[in-house]
Amino acid sequence: MKSLIYLGPGKCVWQDKEKPSIQAPTDVVVKISRTTICGTDLHILKGDVPSVEPGRILGHEGVGSIVEKGEAVGNFAVGDRVLISCITSCGRCPHCRRQMFSHCERGGWILGNRIDGTQAEYVRIPCADTSLYHAPNGVDEDALTMLSDMLPTGFECGVLSGGVNPGDTLAIVGAGPVGLAALISARLYSPSMIVTVDMDEHRLTTSKELGAKHAINSRSENAADAVLRLTGGVGVDVAIEAVGVPDTFDTCQQIVAPGGRIANIGVHGKPVTLRLEKLWDRNVTITTRLVDTVSIPMLLKAMMSGAIDPTRAISHRLHLSEMLKAYETFGHAAREGALKVVLSNG
Amino acid sequence: MKSLIYLGPGKCVWQDKEKPSIQAPTDVVVKISRTTICGTDLHILKGDVPSVEPGRILGHEGVGSIVEKGEAVGNFAVGDRVLISCITSCGRCPHCRRQMFSHCERGGWILGNRIDGTQAEYVRIPCADTSLYHAPNGVDEDALTMLSDMLPTGFECGVLSGGVNPGDTLAIVGAGPVGLAALISARLYSPSMIVTVDMDEHRLTTSKELGAKHAINSRSENAADAVLRLTGGVGVDVAIEAVGVPDTFDTCQQIVAPGGRIANIGVHGKPVTLRLEKLWDRNVTITTRLVDTVSIPMLLKAMMSGAIDPTRAISHRLHLSEMLKAYETFGHAAREGALKVVLSNG
Amino acid sequence: MKSLIYLGPGKCVWQDKEKPSIQAPTDVVVKISRTTICGTDLHILKGDVPSVEPGRILGHEGVGSIVEKGEAVGNFAVGDRVLISCITSCGRCPHCRRQMFSHCERGGWILGNRIDGTQAEYVRIPCADTSLYHAPNGVDEDALTMLSDMLPTGFECGVLSGGVNPGDTLAIVGAGPVGLAALISARLYSPSMIVTVDMDEHRLTTSKELGAKHAINSRSENAADAVLRLTGGVGVDVAIEAVGVPDTFDTCQQIVAPGGRIANIGVHGKPVTLRLEKLWDRNVTITTRLVDTVSIPMLLKAMMSGAIDPTRAISHRLHLSEMLKAYETFGHAAREGALKVVLSNG
Amino acid sequence: MKSLIYLGPGKCVWQDKEKPSIQAPTDVVVKISRTTICGTDLHILKGDVPSVEPGRILGHEGVGSIVEKGEAVGNFAVGDRVLISCITSCGRCPHCRRQMFSHCERGGWILGNRIDGTQAEYVRIPCADTSLYHAPNGVDEDALTMLSDMLPTGFECGVLSGGVNPGDTLAIVGAGPVGLAALISARLYSPSMIVTVDMDEHRLTTSKELGAKHAINSRSENAADAVLRLTGGVGVDVAIEAVGVPDTFDTCQQIVAPGGRIANIGVHGKPVTLRLEKLWDRNVTITTRLVDTVSIPMLLKAMMSGAIDPTRAISHRLHLSEMLKAYETFGHAAREGALKVVLSNG
């Protein structure tokens, strides 16, 4: 089968590799009908993620149909159309039993990392009963693909951890796919004002189309000053960090109101400076989180009811065989006006 | 009346000042029967708190009886014995209405800061109806004095914000009065293991008497290593920072388990380094808080039922007129084996 | 001034009574610009509410401007336009300090009950600082009037107590003004499906216009059967009772899913049968609540941001002097197609 | 092997039945070292539980060691000593994924009900990975047996659902084993006062030894009057119903304070009268729950740390072969002074 294989820093190919097969009675093999590329995949390609070894098929997002199943799989049958969670969960370790699937002792983020992933014609999914979800009848599969990772990440790490409530003011620093996912899903809780911050005018424009009241280009003005001005000097109830660099985290510290929350989504490669000398008496909460994907069942319901439409974060649609072109597009997001690139196969 | 008057960095005197009187219909005047000294008072004396001007009577903790009341005061009568909250709350601004009294628009921490405080024979208390509590019949007034600030600070900023639950493992970094208050009040939630960290052997010994299972002297061993060893390498569910310097905050970052909480109580004068490159995917929560004293009614009930005994944090008892000696003792806590010093007058 | 005076069961008049004046330093006098009639007012007229004595001016909802203020009032000035909460809150009793204003020791529901109310040209409001809210600039005063009682009642007693979450299924049994308020405000949390139940076709139609997916006329079909059918036999996550009779409460018991919540809003005059033999192992929660109006600040923000539009629950607009006609209309709601009737004066 | 076999209403025998064997790859077989009898077993014997067919081995509590395991079992090995949860949980159905194991689509309460149970020398446990817990080293197995059902039932259905908090007042109506379990585990949250109500003086005495401040014999005085008197007429913050008849539920309704909670544990065979005409405006919450046993990991930690000691609820210890005598003793609890009867085998 064809697959996107990582060969080491800066190198990947779209080439044949043996089709996966059942290794444990809880496995299934899924024929991929949709997959997509995550910012994390770009980090892997740069060589930033040492757990990924050369030879690995990348990708941790996707939709498809089951073509083979282990004998202990009880929730799914061959032929079922399924959504693949980016987080593999065994359902029986202490972390899974407390709903923190991200730290599953047998799973967590392993697809396209420690085992072969979804950017291929087929993928083996371990712990299938607790790592897959049935595709609802009539669902738009492009939209569904956004529920593997992007939407639960924005929602759980940003919106849930940030405790967005009706009437709240909300700033989202970083309007890439995950920041937009936070925006789309934050609206489930009806905040009174959403402000986005980014340096890319296209993303800011998209954020306004998706419901941001104000969009601040941090190239042209000081983001913290602007947010404070928009909130009468008080700051926001919730600041979501969706970039992963010290500057954007610092912006969040400057704009959080007393009693407010900073929810970090960004993947950080360096420490940041925490201004405790200013924040110690501000009654603020700061959270970090790797997505658990516990919210997928709810997000499915919200999507099917029309409350959220994640297709707004899709900018390009290609055939699965155009994987390298997809990487080229997604890797030059600003130039290409790229958000999520969906690859489909049948 | 006699009072402890701040004269500028390094200087204070115990001398006469005019007895306070009612200035607003919501004021009362309290004759002090108990007061005590807070670590913050030492900071003021060093000149670290610019809002305190020379001439100010210090102190924000105390117990006494009402000798005069404004006409709009409805909850209290002359002669009532009362506990003074360190936080003055108007009860009607937006922050008070959401229970965040620390940020009250008319109050907050003003006693012994922006207005004259409790280290005196008399003190004026504004917004009395919402800033005082009735002393229960038969209460030990020494113990009661601990509820002005020490106990609610340890409880709210440490235990509540840290979300201590039955069965949790808990580390308290800093075993001074507020750290011990966190320890005493954490036990209301029955954690399965409490570890304390300090450099002062006397405080560590006290912490063990108060229920710590392990007490680590960070002069003699690496505190983070020790806590990790005691938790099988996992770390603690809750780490409470009760010192206020970068090193102790860093210890907390190193020992928090995935899914855990760091609750900062310490008053920080400098930024700290937040290791987001390690914590971004650890699902941790970090909180800061200035005490709101919303928990005083509960703490009163817990104390009267025998569930907590804050007198264990009192090391010295002096007469009110020995105020300068009390400062001398409390200011050399390690040498004197001092925890809280209670001053009484009748 | 003119006012609607209760004279005993079945009798009320619109006639002159002395204009109210300040009685306590925390009082204000408000000149009414908007008021409305509540279902409770009809109960009073029937003689069902013994705390209301003949001679009482009715009404506990309204908007107006302050014409006189007591000297201890700090949040408001003469000339300020204000929203009157139906619940008077002193802000300093134990119940108020824990946000349960409905059980305030000095207030609670007293307007138009134990003291003269808002269906008049002027009304005295005790505890003004904690019982009034500033009218935002540019607000629609008709809409604002809905925030005195109707909207916070539907929201707090129905939506908040019921714990409506994104993706939930929700049934609202009773589509009168308060049921519609629950519907309007439930949408702040994006449930996936809302079903309404009523016997009045006009109200059901309105509920569909306001976002109900299904509207069941319980005259023409068994409501419980219909809701179970619509939820695949599972029942709803949240059932809101907004009528106040045994039959509608029973419907809620039949349709609540395992793990679900029943939130009672209705004012009940009789006991109901609780089917504990069926519910004991269903993991359900049942709540009752008199509105606290703690949510008014949030609802104001939500309304000003466009997230909710309570004017949809207004069916008739009259001049204040047409009070008796308003009662006639509201008292024959089915015949008149009446929801809320707003009376305005200037 | 020997086992306690239900033969129909009023009849059971202790006789041979074939030793169970693995039926599914997720099964294990446990050799029982401890088991006990639940009030539910008495209900079954009376013929009150139609799902139990003649020929069934009763019992859903126990401790033992694994003697055989299916190939898909990953958390346990042959020889492991384990605690058996009374609730079988598949870990992968929607209810299990939201932690409501009681309503597991493949499990729930099935042991000694729909499949053979633990009152035998051996028992087959389905879904072993998610229905068993490792026995900690050095644990007292008698105490451990109390964690199969009694203690999590008292804790989850009573204490957790009732939201017991430090400082709360708490009434437990019914001081049998489950009521005492609620008492023991409520103390993890340090309520300020616990009152027990029962008609059996022995149980009341035990409850006082376990920490109840007041114990009311409802044969000799009106329980509701007594609780109201002890709480100054206010009522309790939390009322736990641990009997399961209309009278005791009614007591709970009479004694719950405004803003309070009624947590039902009792297994009810009949409807009760809910006094909504009095409770509609009292801001109360009523909960029902079949135990999920989600709290077992926490209770294990609490027990190993010494915070709770469930052996206080054990009145009799017999050998497994004395099963019929155990039923005789437990079935005449008042006469025998019986609480839990532990049966052990090796």
CA distance readout (Å), C263 to A89, B198, C103, C162, D205: 35, 50, 19, 5, 38
pLDDT for B122 equals 98
- Which letter does DSSP use for residue B49 in this model? -
Which residue type does B40 have? T
What pLDDT does residue A103 have? 98
Q: Among B283, B285, B292, which would you mutate to test the A interface (most chain A Cβ atoms within 10 Å of its Cβ)?
A: B283
Contact D280 C290 (CB under 8 A): yes
Q: At what angle do helices B177-186 and B201-209 cross, to 10 degrees?
A: 20
Residue type, B34: R
pLDDT over 80 at B23, yes or no: yes
Please give the domain boundaries of chain C with CATH numbers for all domains: 2-149+292-344 (3.90.180.10), 153-288 (3.40.50.720)
**For chain C, what percent of residues have pLDDT higher than 90?**
99
- The answer to whether the CB atoms of B302 and D167 lie below 8 A apart is yes
Percent of chain D predicted with pLDDT > 90: 99
Are A148 and A84 spatial neighbours (Cβ–Cβ below 8 Å)?
yes
Of C187, C192, C305, the CB nearest to A192: C305
CB atoms within 10 A of CB A219: 10
Asked if B173 has any chain A CB less than 8 Å from its own CB, the reply is no
User: Do C92 and B75 lie within an 8 Å CB cutoff?
Assistant: yes
The ipTM, to two decimals, is 0.97
Mean pLDDT along residues D71-100: 96
Mean pLDDT of chain C: 97
Q: Give pLDDT, residue D271.
A: 98
Mutate to test the interface with C, among B26, B92, B101 (most CBs of C within 10 A): B92
Measured in angstroms, the CA of D43 and the nearest CA of chain A are apart by 32
Query: Which one of C100, C284, C285 has the shortest CB-CB distance to D283?
Result: C100
User: Which chain B residue has its CA at the smallest distance from A261's CA?
Assistant: B287
Which residue, among D23, D92, D99, D131, would best test binding to A if mutated, counting the most A CBs under 10 Å from its CB? D92
B155-162 mean pLDDT: 98
Residues of C in contact with D285 (CB under 8 A): 161, 285-287
Task: State the average pLDDT over residues B12-23.
Answer: 97
Q: Can you list the positions of beta strands (E) in C59-192?
A: 62-69, 81-84, 122-125, 132-134, 169-173
Q: Taking CB atoms and an 8 Å cutoff, what residues of chain B touch D184?
A: none
C158-199 pLDDT, tens digit each: 999 999 999 999 999 999 999 999 999 999 999 999 999 999
Distance CA C196, CA B222 (A): 63
Q: What token pair was written down for D41? A: 């077993």
**What gap in Å lies between CA A275 and CA A198, rounded to an integer?**
22
DSSP annotation of B20 reads P
Q: Does D273 touch chain C (CB under 8 A)?
A: yes
The per-residue pLDDT for range A220-270, each reduced to its tens digit, is 999 999 999 999 999 999 999 999 999 999 999 999 999 999 999 999 999
D280 interface with C at CB cutoff 8 Å:
yes
Where does the pLDDT of residue C287 fall: very low under 50, low under 70, confident under 90, or very high at 90 and above?
very high
Interchain contact B273–A (C-beta under 8 A): yes
For chain B, helix (H) and strand (E) counts, in that order, are 13, 16
Indicate the SS3 state at residue B323.
Answer: helix
8 Å CB contact of D103 and C259? yes
Q: Is B234 on the interface with D (CB under 8 A)?
A: no
Instruction: Report, as ranges of residue numbers, the positions in chain A whose pLDDT lies below 70.
Output: none
Please check whether residue C165 touches A, CB under 8 A: yes
Partners of B103 on chain A (C-beta within 8 Å) are: 258-259, 283
pLDDT value, residue C217: 98
* Tokens (6 digits) for D177: 């084993």
- Whole-angstrom distance, CA of residue D180 vs CA of residue D309: 11
What pLDDT was estimated at residue B346?
77
3-state percent breakdown (helix, strand, coil) of chain D, nearest 5? 30, 25, 40
pLDDT score recorded for residue A346: 77
In this predicted structure, what is the pLDDT of residue D346? 77
d(CA D83, CA D120): 15
Say yes or no for a CB contact (<8 Å) between A91 and D97: yes
pLDDT at D223: 98
Residues of A in contact with B98 (CB under 8 A): 259
CB contact, 8 Å: A25 with chain D?
yes
Model confidence over B318-332: pLDDT tens digits? 999 999 999 999 999
Distance CA B75, CA A63 (A): 64
Q: How far is CA C74 from CA C77, C98, C111, in A?
A: 8, 22, 21
Q: Where do we find the tokens 């109500």?
A: D197
As a whole number, mean pLDDT of residues D5-21 equals 97
CB contact under 8 A, D26 and A72: yes
Q: Minimal CA–CA distance to D91: which of A91, A87, B134? A: A91
Q: What is the mean pLDDT of residues C91-111?
A: 96
Please provide residue A332's backbone torsions phi and psi, each rounded to the nearest 5 degrees.
Answer: -120, 60
* C-alpha span between B124 and B66 (Å, rounded): 10
Q: Which chain B residue has its CA at the smallest distance from D299's CA?
A: B167
Distance between CA B86 and CA C82 in Å, rounded? 33
The answer for C167, left when phi > 0, alpha when psi is -120 to 50, beta otherwise, is left
Q: Which of A189, D100, D158 is nearest to C159 (CA)?
A: A189
pLDDT digits (tens, 9 = 90+) for B280-290: 999 999 999 99
On the question of pLDDT at D19 being above 80, the answer is: yes
Give the pLDDT confidence of C254-281 residue by residue, as tens digits. 999 999 999 999 999 999 999 999 999 9
Span B210-246, pLDDT tens digits: 999 999 999 999 999 999 999 999 999 999 999 999 9
Residue written as tokens 């126990």?
A: D62
Q: Assign B175 to helix, strand or coil.
A: coil
The pLDDT, as a whole number, for residue A194 is 98
Contact A92 D74 (CB under 8 A): yes
When computed from its CA atoms, the radius of gyration of chain B, rounded to whole angstroms, is 20
Pick from A72, A92, A94: CB nearest D91:
A92
Q: Mean pLDDT in chain B? A: 97
Say if residues C188 and C302 touch (Cβ distance below 8 Å). yes
Q: Chain B residue closest to C24 (CA)?
A: B72
According to DSSP, residue A23 is labeled -
Q: Residue B28 burial (CB < 10 Å; 0-12/13-18/19+)?
A: buried
- Determine the Cα–Cα distance for residues C179 and C32; give it in Å rounded to an integer: 26
- The number of residues in chain A equals 346
User: Within an 8 Å CB–CB cutoff, is residue B101 touching chain A?
Assistant: no
Name the H helices within chain A.
39-46, 94-97, 141-145, 150-152, 161-162, 177-186, 201-209, 223-230, 246-255, 276-279, 296-304, 323-331, 333-336
Closest listed residue to residue A161, CA positions, set C265, B284, C234, B267: B284
By residue count, chain C amounts to 346
Mean pLDDT on D206-213: 98
D127-172, pLDDT tens digit by residue?
999 999 999 999 999 999 999 999 999 999 999 999 999 999 999 9
> Distance between CA D109 and CA D91 in Å, rounded?
14
Would the CB atoms of A267 and B249 count as touching at under 8 Å? Answer: no
Closest CA to B292 of B128, B126, B117, B161: B161
pTM: 0.97
pLDDT of the residue at D206:
97
Quick check: C146 pLDDT over 90? yes
pLDDT digits 0-9 by tens, D292-310: 999 999 999 999 999 999 9
CB contact, 8 Å: B98 with chain A?
yes
Closest approach of D60 to chain A, Cα-based (Å): 21
